[in-house]
Structure 1
Amino acid sequence: MCVLTAGILLALTACSGGGNDDATTPAAGSESSAAGGSETTEVKMGVLPIVPSAALQLGVDKGIFKEHGFDVSLETGQGGAALLPAVVSGQMQFAISNPLSLMLAQDQGLDVRMVTGYSHALKEGDDITSVWAKPDSGIESPADLAGKTVAVNNLKTQGEVTIREVVKKAGGDPDSINFVELGFPDMPAALNAGNIDAAWVPEPFQTVFKDAGDTRVTYNYQETMPGVPTMSVFTSGKLAQQDPELVDNFAAAVDDVTAYAQEHPDEVRQTLTTFLDMKPELAQKVLIEDFRGQMDRDALQTLADLALQDGILKKKVAMDTFVPKS
């Protein structure tokens, strides 16, 4: 698996050393659309170094993508927003991103299209993403985050919007929070060093914080929009227009991958030991997201409305056109 930093992605330099002249056309020597044929279409897909991405690696390992006619290579970036230019430029044909990053991209005029859903927060019990602070920091509830420095992996995305909302609900001033951008793997060290007051993380990092004895401040997703989609699959508008059959076939492949992952969480955990080089004991403890293609439109609408309220989005999102028809 190839690793792409945000800087490389923003420079639009392919990890493989170059792109096709027609950037959104599938790799040379493959069929222009894939389903049911003996040939496979080479596809590059951007993923993040977090637990839910392991389901895609599992799909590769189990041959699910091959069954749909795709030879998929996964390339890793540090945030969904950073993967956007790689997809728009055609370096990658598909990637995963949190839905708000896609809303913001469209709001700013980028031609990206959601293809299908992927992973979702848990509606009850322990959730898959949360905010953590040191036990001696005095930060014990969302209201305590007011005036503090909080790390998120990307600014103006779902972490920031939902943290602002839980702080507001708790009576704090969300505008007083100093959000800083930091990669998830760097957050534990930054919190321990006192460079940040709190960190918003998914798995496996929330289990790392828990095992270290740190304080969970809030399940910000559950407290604002339970079950909200955390990741979805997207492509460029150009590819969607040039080869809608390929895009539809890839969506079907991803839906089969998520269905398999949902039914086989132990295999997802096993994949984590190689995909993220995770210790087996940690892989057994992390929470696994809800994998499915169908998305909760009400939760997405709440997310979009909050982002509009916070000034992150300039235009109201029409869910009928934003979410693919199932």
Structure 2
Amino acid sequence: MRTRNMGTTLLLTGALIAAATGCAKNDTPSGTAAKPRTIKAVAGCGKGSWTDPSDLAPDRKPARCTSGAPAPVKLAKTRKLTIATGTLAAEYVAPLEMAVKKGEFEKEGLDVTLKVLPTPDALPLLAKGDIDAQWAAPEAAVMNGILGGFDIKWVAANFSPGPGSKSGLWVRLKDGQSASHVAMAGRRMGTMIGKGSVISYPMDTALKKHGGGLDKIQFQQLGSADVLTALQNGGVDSAWLLDPVWRKVDGDKRFAFLGGQPQGEPLGGLLFGPKLLKEDPDAGVAFLRAYIRTVNTYFAGDYKKDPAFVAELAALLKTDKAVLESTPSLRMDWEIRSGTTDRLQQAYEAAGVSKGDPLPESRTVDRKLYEEAVGHTS
């Protein structure tokens, strides 16, 4: 969930889509994808390693295996994989970076490189097979790309906010105004996140509870350093504040928190292209196995209770330890909830950044690879 603007969200032109879908590479045997895949029980991953995708309860416990599980199953031949990510400094990227640092990918026979690329730049590369996966989200650009022919699916989730997080929509209260109902229609919102981001969904939900909606407010896109300042000095009426910026207004009676990302519902994670979906699913499962094992080993619960681990994490993310400690631990979660891409597309339509008819979940999501990694049979 990074800075976006309206223009970059809609960069996927017909020519680009045709070029990407027509030039996909095939570096692995074409017969690999055709072979039926057998899911076997995985030691350390019992009933708790899977939850019903339709469960949207905020207090739902995320799926977990025991620490160190699922155990590595090293590929016979090493695969080199390039994974695009919008940043290497955000906490939600930490499981991938920790997996590299701790050698979890290497244990699977994977040589993984993390490459910083914004979503619009990475998407056509993913569709062509020039990169193997994206650590991103099913943003409007992704949905529009799939609609145009990109063979891309959301295959694993990343996180949802932990209890106590107030990352989200904050409003400046007018004199005598109650925080329980703030009339948002017609008001100006400052945000560094464009309308094509997955944040459009929780933003629209929060606004509608207060008489607003994405189609009823004025957007003012600002730089990351300007959003808080504009809210505090009255330049905008409301703002979407990320970790740890919201701490600056938390407890100040002039401001009210109206809502954020749903707890228990991740909105981003891993996107696979044709290489790991069809041409080399063994490598795709191996990658997910290493990612899931990293979550179970290092991010299973409130990982910020361990000062030594927080220090290690801060060094890995190149951020200040105090900044990490100022916000609750993220609820790391590899599972994708049912209907999330439906709700996202409804928000994109309301924001005016979607193209064509909504895509069914069968076109946007594939849970089979992470289910195989933990030994779950649907």
Aligned to 2:123: 84
- The alpha-carbon deviation at position 211 of structure 1 amounts to 8.5
1:126 aligns with 2:167: no
Going from structure 1 to structure 2, the CA distance change for 1:53 and 1:136 (only over 3 Å counts) comes to farther
1:254 aligns with 2:296: no
Listed as ranges, the matches of 1:67-146 within 5 Å are 67-77=107-117, 80-81=119-120, 83-88=122-127, 90=129, 92-101=131-140, 102-122=142-162, 125-127=163-165, 129-133=167-171, 140=179, 143-146=182-185
In 2, Cα distance between equivalents of 1:92 and 1:139? 50
Going from structure 1 to structure 2, the CA distance change for 1:158 and 1:259 (only over 3 Å counts) comes to same
In 1, Cα distance between equivalents of 2:146 and 2:313? 32
1:160 aligns with 2:160: no
- Residue 74 of structure 1 aligns to a residue whose secondary structure is strand
Q: 1:319 pairs with 354, 357, 361, which one? A: 361
In 2, Cα distance between equivalents of 1:249 and 1:127? 32
Aligned to 1:284: 325
Normalized against structure 2, the TM-score is what?
0.64
Q: Give the fraction of aligned pairs with identical amino acids, expressed as a percent.
A: 19
In 2, Cα distance between equivalents of 1:271 and 1:135? 40
Aligned to 1:17: none
Kindly provide the amino acid, as one letter, of the partner of residue 296 in structure 1: R
Q: Choose 58-67 or 202-211, whichever is displaced more.
A: 202-211
Determine if contact 1:43/1:70 at 8 Å carries over to the other structure.
Answer: no
Going from structure 1 to structure 2, the CA distance change for 1:115 and 1:46 (only over 3 Å counts) comes to same
Determine if contact 2:170/2:238 at 8 Å carries over to the other structure.
Answer: yes
Indicate the structure with greater strand content: 1
In 2, Cα distance between equivalents of 1:189 and 1:45? 31
Normalized against structure 1, the TM-score is what?
0.73
Going from structure 1 to structure 2, the CA distance change for 1:185 and 1:261 (only over 3 Å counts) comes to farther
Kindly provide the amino acid, as one letter, of the partner of residue 135 in structure 2: I
Which protein is bigger by CA-based radius of gyration? 2
Q: 1:228 pairs with 265, 270, 278, which one? A: 265
Going from structure 1 to structure 2, the CA distance change for 1:168 and 1:140 (only over 3 Å counts) comes to same
- The alpha-carbon deviation at position 151 of structure 1 amounts to 0.8
- The alpha-carbon deviation at position 234 of structure 1 amounts to 0.7
Kindly provide the amino acid, as one letter, of the partner of residue 41 in structure 1: K
Which structure has the higher relative contact order (CA within 8 Å, separation 6+)?
2
- Residue 286 of structure 2 aligns to a residue whose secondary structure is helix
In 2, Cα distance between equivalents of 1:204 and 1:56? 21
Aligned to 1:295: 336
Listed as ranges, the matches of 1:124-273 within 5 Å are 125-127=163-165, 129-133=167-171, 140=179, 143-147=182-186, 148-172=188-212, 174-182=214-222, 184=224, 187-191=227-231, 195-210=235-250, 215-222=255-262, 226-237=263-274, 240-263=277-300, 265-266=303-304, 269-273=310-314
- The alpha-carbon deviation at position 69 of structure 1 amounts to 1.9
- Residue 199 of structure 2 aligns to a residue whose secondary structure is helix
In 2, Cα distance between equivalents of 1:272 and 1:84? 28
Determine if contact 2:165/2:327 at 8 Å carries over to the other structure.
Answer: no
In the alignment, structure 1 segments of 5+ residues that lack a partner are: 12-21, 27-33
- The alpha-carbon deviation at position 240 of structure 1 amounts to 3.2
Determine if contact 2:190/2:231 at 8 Å carries over to the other structure.
Answer: no
Going from structure 1 to structure 2, the CA distance change for 1:118 and 1:161 (only over 3 Å counts) comes to closer
Aligned residues: 300
- The alpha-carbon deviation at position 233 of structure 1 amounts to 0.2
In 2, Cα distance between equivalents of 1:299 and 1:117? 11
- Residue 270 of structure 2 aligns to a residue whose secondary structure is strand
Kindly provide the amino acid, as one letter, of the partner of residue 280 in structure 2: D
Going from structure 1 to structure 2, the CA distance change for 1:75 and 1:85 (only over 3 Å counts) comes to same
In 1, Cα distance between equivalents of 2:272 and 2:286? 13
In 1, Cα distance between equivalents of 2:254 and 2:130? 40
In 2, Cα distance between equivalents of 1:24 and 1:195? 50
- The alpha-carbon deviation at position 297 of structure 1 amounts to 0.9
In 2, Cα distance between equivalents of 1:111 and 1:200? 32
Determine if contact 2:83/2:133 at 8 Å carries over to the other structure.
Answer: yes
